[in-house]
Amino acid sequence: MSHSTQEQHAGSAIALGYTSLDEEIVLDHLPVSGNIPTWLEGSLLRNGPAKFEVGEQRYRHWFDGFSMLHRFTFQQGQVAYANRFLRSDSYVESMRKQRLTGSAFGTTDPCKAIFRKTQSALINANVSVDQMVGEFVAMTEAPVPVRFDPHTLDTLGVVEYDDRLTGHHGCAHPHHDGTRQVLSFMTEFGPQSEFKVFAIGNQAPPQRRLVGSYAVDIYSYIHSFSISEHYIIIAEYPYQMKPLDLLQSGKPFIENFHWYPEHGTRFVVMDKQDGHVVRTFQAESFFSFHHINAFERDGDIFVDLAAYPDATIIRGLYLDQLRGELHAIELPHPSEFRRYHLPLSSEATTAGYERITNMSIELPTINYRRYNAHDYGVAYGISTDKQNPAVIANQLVRVDIRNRSALTWAEENCYPGEPVFVEAPNAQAEDDGVVLSVVLDGQKCNSFLLVLHAQTFQEIGRAEVPHHIPFGFHGLFFPGIE
């Protein structure tokens, strides 16, 4: 196959990853090759956009596609599969009217809808899944999760909080801090906007308790954050907008943001217990979607992120770019595995960084249950082969942080999604277990679930799905869901 033919084939395969999947199915058994460990019992639940057009209209940005939930269930070495659209009010209304309804991240709906008192009709929770107060939820950056049944994937309605806490833009990546509470944040826009960190206890009905807050005059786009043993760490990037501009511009939400490199990036360190801002640190300008982990050592804080030099990645994720529909495609910079040092034990006010590996990393994950907020040794993610920069992610990477080394998994014309670590019973090491990833097979035009040995990063087995699964975002493994 010639180089140009390979590029064309790769381009069509990548475009398939951003093509709608309309079929909903339930399969008791997927064809399995290799060996699925018999100790692997439970379900991998995943979320992501899977429908990008309704009638004659179509979404412009990858982040806007209608949410689809996927369930891979493991039992006695076999794998079952089901998928189902999240029946948000936005999805149901769009299907009924055969046109796009509600607000969106990067499509041409005015974002005045953000300021409505009730946002339930707007929630297309297509980013992540989680479990809180005994319920399974799908989440996006709207501050109201959507409940679903993990067995049937039926939509059960939005979470009704029993409190008076308010906000307009939230977080799809809450943290579980080991005390049976969930930590998250949201911003309330107004003449004096306010960034709020809150905790959700384990009692029903769910209640949000304000941990701490601070005023913001110009708002940074923030997708995730970190926690350490004693602190909450927020990184404010210079991708910013004035909140009241949202009411006047008539632009989609994200197109109100602009890059101000002269502002630099600010780290805000908040005390977990009483919510006061302990310190702020200034760093050179960079952008990030995903924190990897944070921990404390000798009185200082270390924050690991998948970092970009600027925010061009957001422009690179419009669907016409991703599908290769443009003559000139602007390739975003690859993300770097950076470790920022916040010198809390000194009087210094600046934060520097070091690169942990020369491999790019995105959609990063760790052994979260045991090592989140603590010093750790292994991280996993998707990565881009430097020899093939046109591809967003064509390999998985396992980073040994202490040895500064990396292992990769790759297969020709295959494009993996977020790796999820599952710990083995009676694990003796941080990486004793398996890694799960949904992979698009560009040759066969379908997807498969890949199972890797988490230490050697060698394939153990795979289970094939009869159709393609559009590139998704995040998922978690939950034991006991059959």
The answer to the question of whether 474 is labelled as a binding residue is yes
Question: What global pTM score does this model have?
Answer: 0.94
- Mean pLDDT of the chain, nearest integer: 92
The pLDDT score that the predictor gives to residue 386 is: 74
AA identity, residue 346: S
Are 55 and 98 spatial neighbours (Cβ–Cβ below 8 Å)?
yes
For residue range 245-304, list pLDDT tens digits in order. Answer: 887 788 899 999 999 999 999 999 999 999 999 999 999 999 999 999 999 999 999 999
| pLDDT of residue 110 exceeding 60 | no
| pLDDT of residue 3 exceeding 50 | no
For residue range 303-328, list pLDDT tens digits in order. Answer: 999 999 999 999 989 999 888 886 55
Cβ count near 3 (within 10 Å): 7
Alpha-carbon distance of 439 to 16, in angstroms, equals 12
The answer to the question of whether 468 is labelled as a binding residue is no
Give Cβ neighbours of residue 208 (< 8 Å, ≥ 6 apart).
161, 163, 165, 198, 199, 200
Q: How far is CA 92 from the centre of its chain?
A: 24
| pLDDT of residue 2 exceeding 70 | no
Alpha-carbon distance of 186 to 189, in angstroms, equals 10
The answer to the question of whether 173 is labelled as a binding residue is yes
The secondary structure element, H or E, covering residue 312 is helix 312-315
The answer to the question of whether 175 is labelled as a binding residue is no
| pLDDT of residue 7 exceeding 60 | no
